[in-house]
């Protein structure tokens, strides 16, 4: 006798009954790019169907979110002016700070997460303050504190430092607590790998480094164990949620981290992953809906609770069908 596994795959109802992985809209976080200026609602060349929004055009975004029933976003800002120290990143009236205020006023139920980093704001495009062309880690922490605080003061619900400097979680936690923001959670990009999958984002966020690369602060993809270490360290320092980034090529890391912590665990399904699916489906090489849903379930299967993805609005629509 052999076992007949096909019995439980016989039709959709049976398959639904035996499945053990679930995906819902509540799991999804939608990344949004806000640009300084007016009257800008422009498709991003490297990310089909993703847009740059100026603040006056954010109502278009809010309408899309409402229609899809997605209520969580992560914001990225593109300032008009950049300088060595990324001053616009912590300007209380900067593009992100104003965007948060606008969204919180127009749609208070939207949960607003902010990416805390310098690369979109520095003239050199690196994620920190440079000294002899290298990031000065400890000096950078002071700037990250200022950025995170400015976001929270503007109304952000959660901050997500993505710079990969050492000690950033402890430093930001301390800065927030000092001003009595004890209840604001920190979502740490704990395992962020130096990845070629960020290419389209750097175009979208104008954040490509002007020289060198990010390999001395982001992680080397030939490492497993160090990722676990770094994530556990971020948790020690006060991270409330941790992110693995990119997602698709790193599901082993997701699973290992899931085994080590009970905290919320996110994957960032990054720009290059999105762009690949878009390119292939536009050429009719793959079925977009099928491929994307399969990817989303694989993130959940690996152990992620939440997914940051440019596909969020589409996925929401497909889940409704």
How many residues belong to the chain? 321
Q: Exposed/middle/buried for 176, CB within 10 Å: 0-12, 13-18, 19+?
A: buried
Residue 162 in contact with ligand PBG, rule: CB under 6 A? yes
Q: Which stretch binds ligand PBG (CB under 6 A): 139-147, 195-203, 220-228, 292-300?
A: 195-203
Among positions 61, 78, 100, 117, the unique one binding ligand PBG when judged by CB under 6 A: 117
Residue 188 in contact with ligand PBG, rule: CB under 6 A? no
Q: Which stretch binds ligand PBG (CB under 6 A): 111-119, 229-237, 280-288, 312-320?
A: 111-119
When the beta carbons of 107 and 141 are compared against ligand PBG, the nearer one is 141
Distance CA(77)–CA(90), nearest Å, equals 11
CB neighbourhood size of 13 (10 A) = 7
Considering the candidates 57, 82, 146, 192, report the single residue annotated as catalytic: 192
Best CA proximity match to 86, nearest among 114, 117, 52, 115: 117
Sketch the per residue contact string, 258 through 277, with ligand PBG: x for CB under 6 A, - otherwise: ------------xx------
Among positions 28, 78, 127, 239, the unique one binding ligand PBG when judged by CB under 6 A: 127
Distance CA(70)–CA(107), nearest Å, equals 12
Known active-site residue 192: yes
Residue 198 CB, nearest distance to ligand PBG (Å)? 4
- φ, ψ of residue 123 to 5 degrees: the values are -65, -30
Q: Exposed/middle/buried for 302, CB within 10 Å: 0-12, 13-18, 19+?
A: buried
Residue 98 in contact with ligand PBG, rule: CB under 6 A? no
- Tell which positions 278-317 bind ligand PBG, by CB under 6 A: none
From the centroid of its chain, how far is CA 173? 19
- Name the 3-class secondary structure at 163: coil
Among positions 30, 51, 201, 250, the unique one binding ligand PBG when judged by CB under 6 A: 201
Known active-site residue 245: yes
Distance CA(197)–CA(264), nearest Å, equals 24
Which stretches of the chain bind ligand PBG, using CB under 6 A?
A: 115, 117, 119, 127, 162, 198, 201-202, 207, 214, 270-271
Catalytic residues: 192, 245
């Amino acid at each position: 006798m052999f076992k007949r596994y096909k019995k439980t795959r016989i039709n959709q109802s049976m398959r639904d009954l035996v499945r053990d992985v679930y995906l819902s809209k509540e799991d999804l976080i939608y990344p949004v790019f806000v640009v300084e200026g007016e009257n800008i609602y422009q498709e991003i060349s490297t990310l089909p169907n993703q847009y740059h929004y100026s603040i006056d055009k954010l109502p278009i975004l809010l309408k899309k979110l409402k229609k899809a029933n997605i209520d969580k976003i992560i914001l990225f800002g593109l300032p008009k002016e950049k300088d060595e120290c990324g001053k616009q990143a912590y300007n209380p009236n900067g593009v992100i700070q104003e965007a948060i205020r606008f969204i919180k006023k127009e749609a208070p139920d939207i949960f607003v997460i902010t990416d805390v980093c310098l690369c979109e704001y520095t003239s050199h495009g690196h994620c920190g303050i440079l000294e002899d062309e290298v990031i000065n880690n400890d000096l950078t922490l002071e700037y990250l504190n200022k950025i995170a605080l400015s976001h929270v003061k503007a109304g952000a619900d959660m901050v997500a430092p993505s710079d990969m400097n050492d000690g950033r979680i402890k430093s930001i936690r301390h800065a927030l607590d000092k001003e009595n923001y004890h209840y604001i959670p920190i979502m740490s990009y704990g395992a962020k790998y130096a990845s070629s999958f960020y290419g389209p984002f750097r175009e979208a966020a104008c954040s490509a480094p002007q020289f060198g690369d990010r390999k001395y602060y982001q992680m080397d993809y030939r490492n497993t164990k160090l990722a676990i270490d770094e994530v556990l360290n971020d948790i020690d320092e006060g991270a409330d949620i941790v992110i693995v980034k990119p997602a698709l090529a790193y599901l082993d890391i997701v699973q290992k981290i899931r085994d080590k912590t009970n905290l919320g665990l996110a994957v960032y399904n990054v720009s290059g992953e999105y762009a690949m699916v878009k390119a292939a489906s536009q050429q009719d090489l793959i079925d977009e809906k099928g491929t994307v849903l399969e990817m989303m379930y694989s993130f959940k299967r690996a152990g992620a609770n939440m997914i940051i993805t440019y596909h969020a609005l589409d996925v929401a629509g497909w889940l409704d069908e």
